[in-house]
Structures are given as C-alpha cells and as structure tokens.
C-alpha cells in the first residue's frame, strides 16, 4: 500500500489503521491456519465431489445449479483455500463470512498472522521536500458482533438456515456450499419470488447475496454473476478438482425484484468511475494543520499540467473499515480508489486531477493514479475475490481509456514495481500486491490478454507462467522461517546460472553490502512477474537468460510448461563508447529548467548501471518533470518541465529511468 521506507518487510496497516478506525472495525484478518484434516471435499466420503456438492445443494434448496456455481465462482473461483478465511473473514467456496471468528483466531494465534511484520512508517509522498508523517499507534482488538456489518457475518445466518454448525460451514466445503444455497433460497423468498428452475428469475437473490447495502453494488455484483453464467467457466480448483459451469448464453435476467429489496442508491454522480462499477465518494481531506503542515494529498490539474503515465495496483494490508477511516485522516496518506473484497464495491477518495500520496516516489505519484485492493500480500489464502478483480479491471480499463494509459506492465504497475527515488530509499520500497496477485487473469479481464507477439527470434520474452501450476516456495508469510502455504503464483525465480542449485541473483540496491537474496515473500531481488518483458540474453535447454539488474539472470522455461512467451519491441543499450550508463529512480529535469523560487532537485542516479552490450525493454519516453507542491496554498505549485528526455525501462523487478542522451534505442530483434 503506502510507500513507507522499511527495512525489508512490507509494513502493515494494523497499527496505523487502529488509530484512524478504532479497534472495533480494523479487522486485519488473517493468517489463520486451517483446522486439522480440512481441505478434502467430503461428500459422502468421495474425495472428488465438489461438482457433485454443488449439484446436491442446488437440488436440496431448489436453486438453479448455474446460479449457485456462478455465485461461488465470483466469490472464490470454487477454491476452498484449505479452510482459511479471506481478508474479510469469508470461508469456503461460497465465501460465507464469519469475520469475528477469523479475527479472534488471529488475535489468539499471533504467530500465524500473515501481517505480523514490524511496523514502520515513512513518507508515502516519496520526496524530501517536507517531513514524513508519522501518526501515533494503538493496538487493535476483536470487535463485538453488533459492530460488524451484515456482509461480514453471513455464515451465522447460513448455520441457522441449514442446522449445520458454524465449524462445519467453515471447514467442510460441501457444507459451505449447502450454506450458500440456503442463503440464496432465503433471499429469493424474502423478495417474494418463487424458487424457480430458471436462472433468469434469480437476479434479485444473487444481488442480495453480495451483502451490499446499495443497489449499485448489488446490481454490479449480480451482473458479473450472470456474465459468468452466460459465458461459462471451467477450471481446476486448489484441491485439484475440475469444476465446470456450462455456458448459458441466452440467460437474460429480470432486474425488477431488486427494486423491492429496500437498498439505498449507490453510485455517486460526482465520482470518476464507469457506470459498470458501484462507486461512492469518500473524500481524502485536503486540510491544513499544525505548523503550516497539511495533508493528505496535493491539488493539481492533471492531465493538463502533467500527463498521467501509470496506474499503480496496491493491496491494503488491512480490511475495509479501518482502511476507509485511515484515508480520511488529514495527517496521513491517500490514494485515489479503494476496492472491497466481498463484492467489488469501489470508494473514490482523490480526484484524478489531484496527486495522491501512495507510491513512495514523488515522480511516480505525480504521474499516476493509485488503487488499493482489500487484501494481504503475504497471506495467499486471504484471497483476492473474483468480484474485486472484475470490478478493478473495469475501473482500470475506464481510467486507461480516459487518460490514454497503455495496458501493459510498464504502465500498469504493482506497488512492487515502483522504483526507489534515491539510493537510500531502495531497501524500503514496498512489495505489494505480491506474488499471489494473478496478473495473467487480471489482463484477461482487462481485455488485453498476455500473448506471444513474436517467434523465437523476437529478442524479448513476456513472463507468463501458468498461475495455478506455478508454485515457487516462499517463506516469511508468518513470523518464522516456515514455508508459506503452497499456492499459485505469477512470479518466476531468477538464478545466476541455468541450475536451480545456483545462487539467486543479487540486488545491490536492496542489499548494499552484497548480501544474498532469499526466498522471503517480500524479497524482490531475484523475481520477475507475469506480464513483465525482458531482453533475452541466452538460452540453455529448458532455461532462458535475460538482462536483469545489470546481470545475466536465468529462469526455467521448459517447452512443455513455459513460464514465458516470445515477444518483440524496443530496447535501450548504452551508446557506443560508453562502458555503462546510470539508472535513475525518477525522471527529474536538469537544474537549468527550474524557475526562480523553485529549488532544483538533484538528478541522482541509483546504485545501478547498464553495462555495454546489455539491453532493457523500453516502456515510454517522457520529459524530465518535477511537480513543486510543498505548501497548502496552490498559488506556489508549479510543474517544471526540462529539455532532458528519459526512457522508462524494465530494469529489475522494478522499473527505472535512463536519460535518452545516454542510450541508443533499438529494435529487440536487431
């Protein structure tokens, strides 16, 4: 989330959010370990019965099977997550929520908490022009049940409807599916609708299942479920079971029942969101306080004053209520949008024309829009729901179209791809949304699937492992050095030679003393991520080498299960005669470009170089710019534009910048 300098681990919001939200609603859920024996699908003792469990529950509660499967797909993509709770305290394939139990387990088993890293805060603004903000801290607690919204306690209702125990609904996937079917049937009856066999008659019940209290969110959720029903889905779940939802392209639901649900109107007219997502306006305050201090963002005039180059994907490291309270703290940080896990609901906080403090790099902040997604990077089973992925993809597509931002991985950045602006900040840059964010699926939802664009002579590769099958071992998801739960990942590990026993690639910026890289979930030194592109540096059997951090880095790329596809494009390499050229963490103008009254900012290189003969993929060309905004009074704000041009490049796991005057631009196949 925020761009706080740290000492290696990505900080959490547990401490900061407790101040803003009070202990009652922080809900930093979740690294709860599954109960012994769970993870098998117990349907009459048959281990491969998930598809049958859906059919049985649908028949028992008179819910169309396609509706039950469609709702479950949007909640969990039919995964069980070994009985572990999601970020919002949801369990099982139907994501039945029992947030208080999930939080209580976390409170009594702190060693299992995926967010138990040392708290550390810094300057999310990512500049030294003003002091970093450091709010006080307090410890969170377990909220009373009455303090929780209905959307976070659906499992208790399911227990009452089915007669099943809460433990069974949490731990047994077949029971969980029965609970979901019972909730859908109850919602249908409450709307005065018959338990029809026609899936088109269930729109209102599906919308109510979302738990949303407004029509815009509920209808957006239902629209997504019916889109899944029409197109169909087929996938292998996290327990290795094949589940199929046959396509029903002719299903056109009637939406009238939702008007009888008594929900408030949701979509706010003053938000910058497409009509296809439910969006409300919860403003981040632009306020002055203390000794001429202010926060928590800067007013601007983008894109008239500065082109928007990036959309930055974050995760919150906290749950919805605490995070929403945090962004309303004028003494702290901000971002443009937050997305809720349970139903994909969106809150906008900062207008696109203004500059939010979210990325930890002022240059990136001034050229970007930041999206926070409810979740935890180090807890693979506190999952990012399909509802949130789809809502996010629609929002990003809308923003990309509106501001002419290309849909590729050098413009659609994770927070973990944002470079440190200066050498001293590199070790502390954030690592979210982490290896468990499914970039390949996300780009499919964006309508920009990651495909090969060349043959083997294209000169580039696009990283594209099979997310479900790609399960690199990570540590650091708990306080100890135990391996994280085995889980699909969009990241691929890099070695110094074509051998998995070879040392990992080192990052001299992350570890200035030359320390070894690790497999910690937050250690980005030797990892590439889905969608990133690199120049090919060599091949050896099942291994491919790329240029990465000034080194030749090797990754396994077998023909039968490739982790990358061929691509082509533009690359930079040092100009003839140069032994190497510097890499920068920000594209600032030359000193002569600054007018009187605006202090010139140092054009200081990072500890990285591009040696002669190496090539790095070009993301964009841009002029050196600096947005001077250090006072509450907008009259002093200025955008300084220089004559020096820069290229953004994919240098390591993070992007970087090189001066155009230092490099040549070539076709990758040349």
d(CA 461, CA 494): 14
- Please report the pLDDT score of residue 577 as a whole number: 97
Q: What is the DSSP letter of 409?
A: T
Report residue 292's pLDDT band, with 50, 70 and 90 as the boundaries: confident
- Cβ burial, residue 89 (10 Å; 0-12/13-18/19+): buried
Same domain, 602 and 454: no
Beta-strand ranges (E) seen in 143-271 are 233-236, 242-245
**Nearest one of 457, 638, 466 to 564, comparing CA atoms:** 466
Q: At CB < 8 A and 24+ separation, what contacts does 590-594 make?
A: 590/624, 590/642, 590/643, 590/644, 592/642, 593/624, 593/640, 593/641, 593/642, 593/643, 593/644, 594/626, 594/640
Report the side by side order of strands in the sheet with 460-463: 551-556, 543-548, 533-540, 460-463, 564-567
pLDDT at 116: 28
pLDDT at 357 > cutoff 60: yes
Dihedral sign (CA 393, 394, 400, 401): positive
What is the C-alpha to C-alpha distance for residues 181 and 162, in angstroms, rounded to an integer?
A: 9
Q: Above 70 in pLDDT, residue 143? A: no
Element housing 74 (H / E): helix 65-76
Q: Tens digits of per-residue pLDDT, 83-108? A: 999 999 999 999 999 998 988 765 54
Q: How confident is the model at residue 628 (pLDDT cuts 50, 70, 90)?
A: very high
Tell whether 658 and 560 lie within a shared domain: no
Structure tokens at 542: 């099942």
User: CB under 8 Å to 489, separation ≥6 — which residues?
Assistant: 435, 436, 465, 467, 470, 471, 472, 474
Tokens 């807890």 correspond to: 379
By CB neighbour count within 10 A (0-12 exposed, 13-18 middle, 19+ buried), where does 59 fall? exposed
Residue-wise pLDDT tens digits, 486-511: 999 999 999 999 999 999 999 999 99
Give residue 48's pLDDT.
Answer: 58
Q: What is the DSSP string of 236-301?
A: E-TTS-EEEE---TT-----GGGGGS-PBP---TTS---TTS-EEE-PPP-EEETTTEEESEE---
Q: Does residue 433 fall inside a structural domain? A: no
621 lies in the same domain as 507: no
Domain end point (choices 535, 551, 568): 568
Q: Are residues 486 and 602 in the same domain?
A: no
Closest CA to 508 of 609, 585, 579, 648: 609
Rounded to an integer, what is the distance from CA 393 to the centroid of its chain? 11
| Residue 207 dihedral angles phi and psi, to the nearest 5° | -60, -40
- Domain interval for residue 500: 450-568
- Number of helices and strands (H, E) in the chain? 13, 28
Q: DSSP label at 168?
A: H
Tell me how many domains the chain contains: 3
Tell me what percent of the residues of the chain surpass a pLDDT of 90: 79
Per-residue confidence at 39, pLDDT binned at 50, 70, 90? very low
Note whether 530 and 660 are same-domain residues: no
**Phi, psi for residue 215 in degrees, rounded to 5:** -70, -35
Mark 461-500 as b/e (b = at least 16 C-beta within 10 Å).
bbbbbebbebbbebbbbbeeeeebbebbbbbbbbbbebee
Condensed to tens digits (0 to 9), the pLDDT of residues 378-415 reads 988 889 999 999 999 999 999 999 999 999 999 999 99
The answer to the question of residue 456 being in a domain is yes
**Is 460 found in the same domain as 598?**
no
Residue 284: both structure tokens together: 């981040």
CA distance 212 to 218: 5
Instruction: Answer positive or negative: Cα dihedral of 23, 24, 29, 32.
Output: positive
Q: Report strand pairing: 564-567 vs 551-556.
A: unpaired
Residue 314 lies in a domain: no
Q: How confident is the model at residue 34 (pLDDT cuts 50, 70, 90)?
A: very low
Using 50, 70 and 90 to split pLDDT, how confident is the model at 109?
A: very low
Give Dmax over CA atoms of the chain in angstroms.
Answer: 79
Q: Mean pLDDT across the stretch 1-9? A: 37
pLDDT band of residue 264 (cuts 50, 70, 90) is: confident
**In terms of pLDDT, which residue wins out, 318 or 161?**
161
CA separation for the pair 385, 387 (Å, rounded) = 5
503 and 619 housed in the same domain: no
Is pLDDT at 205 greater than 60 in this prediction? yes
Q: Are residues 530 and 647 in the same domain?
A: no
145 falls within a domain: yes
Is 519 inside a domain boundary?
yes
Q: What pLDDT sits at residue 26?
A: 33
Domain annotation covers residue 380? no
Over range 600-617, report the average pLDDT.
97
- 500 and 609 part of one domain: no
> Are residues 102 and 76 part of one domain?
yes
Helices 65-76 + 173-190 axis angle, to 10: 110
DSSP-assigned letter for residue 493: E
Confidence of residue 43 (pLDDT cuts 50, 70, 90): very low
Average pLDDT over residues 628-639: 94
Q: Give the closest residue to 176 by CA, choosing from 37, 34, 80.
A: 80
Residues with Cβ within 8 Å of residue 108, at least 6 apart in sequence: none
Main-chain dihedrals φ then ψ at residue 132, nearest 5 degrees: -70, 150
Q: Same domain, yes or no, for 76 and 108?
A: yes
Mean of pLDDT values over 42-58: 73
Of the three residues 521, 538, 568, the one that is the final residue of a domain is: 568
442-467 per-position pLDDT tens digit? 999 999 999 999 999 999 999 999 99
Residue 251 lies in a domain: yes
Output the pLDDT for position 291: 76
Quick check: helix, strand or coil at residue 26? coil
Assess if residue 89 is contained within a domain: yes
pLDDT score for 429:
95
Residue 531 pLDDT > 50: yes
Residues 542 and 663 occupy one common structural domain:
no
Q: Which two tokens stand for residue 156?
A: 């208790």
Neighbours of 615 (CB within 10 A): 25
Confidence of residue 8 (pLDDT cuts 50, 70, 90): very low
CA distance from start to end of the chain: 39
Q: Which of 260, 295, 314 is the last residue of a domain?
A: 260
Per cent of the chain over pLDDT 70 is 87
Tell me how long the chain is: 670
Reading the block at residue 23, the tokens are: 């202990």
Q: How far is CA 123 from the centre of its chain?
A: 21
pLDDT in the model for residue 268: 75
Which positions ≥6 away from 541 have C-beta within 8 Å?
498
pLDDT (tens digit per residue) in 540-571: 999 999 999 999 999 999 999 999 999 999 99
């Amino acid at each position: 989330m925020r761009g706080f300098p740290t000492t290696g681990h990505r900080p959490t919001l547990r401490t900061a959010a407790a101040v803003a939200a009070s202990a009652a609603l922080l809900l930093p859920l979740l690294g709860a370990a599954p109960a012994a024996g769970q993870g098998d699908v117990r349907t009459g003792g048959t281990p491969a019965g998930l598809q049958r469990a859906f059919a049985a529950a649908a028949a028992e509660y008179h819910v169309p099977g396609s509706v039950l499967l469609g709702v479950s797909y949007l909640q969990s993509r039919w995964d069980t997550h070994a009985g572990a709770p999601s970020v919002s305290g949801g369990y099982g394939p139907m994501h039945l929520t029992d947030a208080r139990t999930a939080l209580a387990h976390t409170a009594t088993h702190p060693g299992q908490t995926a967010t138990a890293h040392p708290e550390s805060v810094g300057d999310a603004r990512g500049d030294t022009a003003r002091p970093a903000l450091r709010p006080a801290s307090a410890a969170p607690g377990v909220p009373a049940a009455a303090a929780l919204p209905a959307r976070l306690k659906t499992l208790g209702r399911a227990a009452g409807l089915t007669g099943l125990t809460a433990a069974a609904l949490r731990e047994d996937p077949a029971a969980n599916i029965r609970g979901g079917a019972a909730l859908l049937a109850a919602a249908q009856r409450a709307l005065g609708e018959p338990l029809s066999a026609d899936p088109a008659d269930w729109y209102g019940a599906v919308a109510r299942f979302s738990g949303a209290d407004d029509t815009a969110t509920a209808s957006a959720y239902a629209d997504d479920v019916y889109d899944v029903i029409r197109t169909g889905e087929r996938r292998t779940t996290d327990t290795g079971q094949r589940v199929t939802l046959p396509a029903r392209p002719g299903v056109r639901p009637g939406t009238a029942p939702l008007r009888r649900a008594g929900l408030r109107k949701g979509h706010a007219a003053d938000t910058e969101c497409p009509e296809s997502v439910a969006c409300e306006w919860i403003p981040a305050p632009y306020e002055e306080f203390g000794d001429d201090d202010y926060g928590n963002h800067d007013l601007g005039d983008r894109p008239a004053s500065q082109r928007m180059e990036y959309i930055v994907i974050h995760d919150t490291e906290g749950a919805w209520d605490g995070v929403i309270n945090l962004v309303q703290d004028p003494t702290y940080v901000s971002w443009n949008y937050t997305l809720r896990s349970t139903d994909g609901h969106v809150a906008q906080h900062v207008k696109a024309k203004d500059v939010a403090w979210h990325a930890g790099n002022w240059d990136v902040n001034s050229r970007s829009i930041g999206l926070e997604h409810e979740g935890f990077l180090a807890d693979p089973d506190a999952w990012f729901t399909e509802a949130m992925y789809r809502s996010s993809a629609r929002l990003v597509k809308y923003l990309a179209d509106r501001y002419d931002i290309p849909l590729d991985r050098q413009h659609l950045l994770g927070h973990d791809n944002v470079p440190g602006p200066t050498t001293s900040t590199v070790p502390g840059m954030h690592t979210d949304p982490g290896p468990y964010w499914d970039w390949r699926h996300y780009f499919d939802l964006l309508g920009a699937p990651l495909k090969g664009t060349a043959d083997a002579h294209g000169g580039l590769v696009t990283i594209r492992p099979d997310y479900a099958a790609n399960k690199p071992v990570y540590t650091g998801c708990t306080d100890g050095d135990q391996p994280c739960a085995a889980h699909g990942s969009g990241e691929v590990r890099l070695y110094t030679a074509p051998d998995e026993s070879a040392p990992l690639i080192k990052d001299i910026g992350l570890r200035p003393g030359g320390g070894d890289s690790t497999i910690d979930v937050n250690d980005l030194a030797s990892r590439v991520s889905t969608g990133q592109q690199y120049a090919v540096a060599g091949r050896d059997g099942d291994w491919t080498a790329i240029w990465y951090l000034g080194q030749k880095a090797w990754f396994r790329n077998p023909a039968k299960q490739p982790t990358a596809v061929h691509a082509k494009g533009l690359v930079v390499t040092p100009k003839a005669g140069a032994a190497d050229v510097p890499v920068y963490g920000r594209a600032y103008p030359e000193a002569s470009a600054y007018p009187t009254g605006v202090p010139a900012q140092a054009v200081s290189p990072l500890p990285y170089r591009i040696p002669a003969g190496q090539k790095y993929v070009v993301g964009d060309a841009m002029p050196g710019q600096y947005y001077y905004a250090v006072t509450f009074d907008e009259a002093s704000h200025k955008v300084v534009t220089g004559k020096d041009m820069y290229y953004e490049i994919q240098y390591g796991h993070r992007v970087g910048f090189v001066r155009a005057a230092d490099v040549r631009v070539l076709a990758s196949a040349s």
